[in-house]
Amino acid sequence: MDTPATGNTRASKASQGNLIASAGRVDDFELTDEERHEIEHEMGHYENPRAASIGALKTVQKRRGWVSDGAIIAISDVLGIPSSDVEGVATFYSLIFRQPVGRHVILVCDSSSCFLTGHDELRDAISDELGIGLGQTTGDDRFTMLPVCCLGACDRGPALMINEDLHGPVEPGDVSALLERYT
């Protein structure tokens, strides 16, 4: 039986794998006690610790805004799995941000329904209002605009989401007033 006193074999193997993963740039990162507790609690819901990866990534992102390389390694150490496994989950899910983003993330739906109902005009109105394109962040770090393949609001296109707030249909003329709500 693995215990903290005797050493967790699974965690040791994960750390060995992390030596390879950490050969690149890794920031000085430490999970807070609260983050660690939340991740360990999430692990308790699953037989396989890999299943807790997405919850662990969301925990870090919720508090820090994005998931750094150091966070990937710290999460893998807690879960006792290779950092490459955590990185694979992080890069698979488009709503896990691997680079810093603005305080408010605008997800512009580019599904077929939204495309047909005015996606391009909506995207252009946001770009004109903020002076940024898709994948960019405003100079004051207030907004980041990203594409998303579907928001599940096909009956309300064109749609967008700001943080966790779904908006639609959004007309280009609505953009300025909508963005002002996120100061």
Q: What is the pLDDT of residue 66?
A: 95
Q: In angstroms, how far is the first alpha carbon of the chain from the final one?
A: 52
**Tens digit of each residue's pLDDT (9 = 90 or more) over 70-98:** 999 999 999 999 999 999 999 999 899 99
Task: Write out the binding residues.
Answer: 109, 114, 150, 154
Where do the domains of the chain lie? 9-92, 104-180
List the chain residues with pLDDT less than 70. Answer: 1-27
Which CATH architecture describes the domain 104-180? 3-Layer(aba) Sandwich (3.40)
Q: What is the pLDDT of residue 105?
A: 97
Q: What is the pLDDT of residue 19?
A: 38
Query: Burial letters for 121-135: b for 16+ Cβ neighbours within 10 Å, e otherwise?
Result: ebbebbbebbebeee
- What mean pLDDT value characterizes the chain? 88
Task: Write out the binding residues for [2Fe-2S] cluster.
Answer: 109, 114, 150, 154
What is the tally of helices (H) and strands (E) in the chain?
8, 5
Q: What is the pLDDT of residue 8?
A: 39
φ, ψ for residue 42 (rounded to 5)? -60, -40
